[in-house]
Structure 1
Amino acid sequence: MVAPHRSAPAQPPTAQHRFVERFGSALTEAGLQRLPARVFAALLAKDDGRMTAAELGDVLSVSPASVSGAVRYLQQMRMIHREREQGSRRDVFVVADDAWHDMMLNTPNIYAPLTSSLREGVAMVGGPGTQAGDRLAVSVAFLEFVTEEMQQLSDKWDKRRAQLGY
């Protein structure tokens, strides 16, 4: 009689793993897609902030193929960037020490196409003075305002970061 195969007992999650799952969940609740949120949290929690797709897949128990879509999304948001591992053909995904700053400074790239489309849309929905036209126009004004304010906020953060010694 053949003994049934027994897998090794599951290891209890480490504090780092618990952080990744909790922070990933918090980011998901804030609107980020689930896997990109977990990838970002995993990179934040890693001491050097660097991992390959295979390492991310292992840590998050997902396939490297699914990691590919998540890192592409995070790169578009400027939350991480890709580097080539020295002496290798493998890509390494890296989170910046100040990833939030980089992501927030990306607002012009995110908002510019939206603003342009909304601006063109004013005439397409009836023009200024119509409810739809005015709604789109105020959206344009808001996005332009946010873009301007983000640059000023970034300048303030640079000064504050220097004061904090980071």
Structure 2
Amino acid sequence: MSGNSAERAGELEVVLVKAGRTKIRYRSELLLDDGNHVAVRAPWAGEGVRDFGFVRFEPGDVFTEHYWRDRWYAVKEVRAGDGTLKGWYCDVTRPAVRDGAELVVEDLDLDLWRSADGTEVLRLDEDEFAESGLAERDPEGATAAVAALDELEKQARAEGGLTALLA
């Protein structure tokens, strides 16, 4: 299918890049692209079950993902196959770039989890971020990434949680 057909069909391929290589790519349903904010919906794209201890991602889960061309993060609402909200998984990324029917996002290792009831807010993978060498290679990018994680955590702990970022 050509890029134009995918756009007309409401599809967008999300390409997650990490350390210069494609980590995963998957098809999604394009919900919104207002020129800055891109929202898509996709089933769990991983292999089998991924148990993080604080949440399990598994076949049947549905992710509604929000990306921005001017923000250094993505916010992903995670629901079980029956529609039950599991929570929000946030990736710290460079601003998203859309090229036709592809949305390319560079993962910068830092992540945040907020449980559905808001009682659990976890900063994740700070050790991987430190080991990535981004602070040495791209100090401005590293500073922006840490600021994005701080912003996500602040919003996740606030009244209304991460949904306020989506408005």
TM-score by length of 2: 0.34
User: Which structure would you say has the larger RCO, counting Cα contacts within 8 Å and 6 or more residues apart?
Assistant: 2
Structure number having the greater helix percentage: 1
- What TM-score comes out, normalization by structure 1 length? 0.34
Q: Which has the larger radius of gyration?
A: 1
